[in-house]
Amino acid sequence: MKTTVVGAGIGGLGGLGGAVGKLIPKPGGKIFRGYGDRASTKAWDKFQKAMKSQGLTGPVHPSHRKRNSPMFSYWLAVIRRGAVFFAMMAAPLGVFMAGVLIWEDPSVWADALLQGAFASLVAGAVIAVVGATSSTWQAARAASRHGLTLSAEAVGLPCTAEIRVPIRPGTTAYQLTDSALYALKQLPAPEIDKVTEFTHGRLTLICRKSLSLPVRFHISITTDRDTATVTMDARPTATWKRHDDGASWSVLKAFEPHVSKAVHDEGGGTSTT
Q: What is the pLDDT of residues 109-131, one digit of tens each?
A: 999 999 999 999 999 999 999 99
- pLDDT surpassing 70 at residue 266: yes
Q: Can you tell me the mean pLDDT for 87-110?
A: 91
**pLDDT tens for each residue of 197-250:** 999 999 999 999 878 899 999 999 999 888 999 999 999 999 888 899 999 999
| Per-residue pLDDT, 211 | 87
At residue 101, does pLDDT exceed 50? yes
* C-beta separation of 59 from 45 below 8 A: no
CATH of domain 156-267: 3.30.530.20
Whole-number mean pLDDT of the chain? 81
By C-alpha distance, which of 260, 250, 62, 31 is closest to 157? 250
Whether the pLDDT of residue 10 is over 60: the answer is no
Task: Answer for the pair 119, 97: CB distance below 8 angstroms, yes or no.
Answer: yes
- Structure-model confidence comparison of residues 179 and 5, the more confident one: 179
Question: Is pLDDT of 2 > 50?
Answer: no
Sheet holding 192-199, edge to edge: 159-166, 227-236, 215-224, 202-207, 192-199
Give the whole-angstrom CA distance, residue 113 versus residue 96: 10
Q: Is the separation of the CB atoms in 259 and 217 below 8 Å?
A: no
Mean pLDDT, rounded, for 43-70? 56
Assess whether pLDDT exceeds 60 at residue 58: no
pLDDT of 191 higher than 50: yes
Contact criterion met (CB below 8 Å) for 266 and 179:
yes
Inform me whether the pLDDT recorded for 159 exceeds 60: yes
Indicate whether 271 pLDDT > 50.
Answer: no
- Please enumerate in sequence order all residues whose Cβ is within 8 A of that of 56, keeping only pairs 6 or more positions apart, or say none: none
**How many other CB atoms are there within 10 angstroms of residue 171's CB atom?**
20
Cis peptide bond upstream of 236, omega within 30: no
Query: CA 264, CA 267: separation in Å to the nearest integer?
Result: 5
pTM: 0.69
Q: For residue 203, give the H/E element and its range.
A: strand 202-207
Average pLDDT estimate for 255-264 = 95
CB 78 within 8 A of CB 64: no
